[in-house]
Structure 1
């Protein structure tokens, strides 16, 4: 990770940790933009810290690709929901018609249980269907990259493509490790740092509007 990454991540952690304590001390409603912002910031920091740990111990890159893909998807959804705050209650399950804790799990078959979990997950969203990430990204102007800035959706799409071919890519990673000369720069490492920096920037642009 480059110096710019560490600086952005350190600033984000300091800002979020300070603001989150103040917000949580006010005991905000769970289904609120403040609480959602706090929790998303906590999970985003957690994801980045785990990426750092995985890189240090040399975990296969497919694990990192999966985390970064999920980060970009979750921040797209977060920004979309904050832009449309009426969706916050829906996000937190206001539309759920059935409490999972009341299900008679012992008498359900595996297929029935999986179907019920799927139904419950879909029921969180209006009409039983979650808006696609593509449409969310378009709404918040994060669909297309422009002005030398990579969009969240392009980060999501790029990492999704790598995930679709994760084992194939891992084979060639091992081959490249053998070929790579000591001290040679890692282009993928550079891209990952840049992607995470962009995700942090995109998150903070919305987070700062909520916590101010």
Structure 2
């Protein structure tokens, strides 16, 4: 496992590695050992001076932290969780459990809590895979990927039902024009969600967030 982190940490800068050691409670022992080795042997990447706006630099660093270690294995768990969410949703619907919850506030609350739980579970999977918490930008990207995955799986199921029941495929998949705008603007919801997660992490020091 330490060899895995050594390979990844050689792509980090000295400041990034020192930050890892400063927050050891967020990382696995193998990650801490690898960061220490890379620092001692000076195998890290040299930093390039920058004079950009501090806020832009923070977002750029957040994006680079995610991009540097990004791979298909980050997307796969996200899509699998999306498929699991849709499966649970349809099971609840078929069994009639949704009818036990009054429409309105409580149903919306349960749906929101369930969806949030899946997003947090996805953050934890990322932590288990990489040995560190995902960056803010990375979390928003994977949240949105999860959301798009839900829509795709939902449309596949609708398509399957339409074909098996001899219904019109085009009519089943027809969506109002505003639907595309809702999909696009929903990223703002995930940004707000991750800001709330950031506050919770600051308050409770959650290791995987």
The answer, yes or no, to whether TM exceeds 0.5 is: no
- TM-score with structure 2 length normalisation? 0.25
Which of the pair has more CA radius of gyration? 2
Q: TM-score, normalised by structure 1?
A: 0.25
Q: Greater RCO between the two (CA within 8 Å, min separation 6)?
A: 1
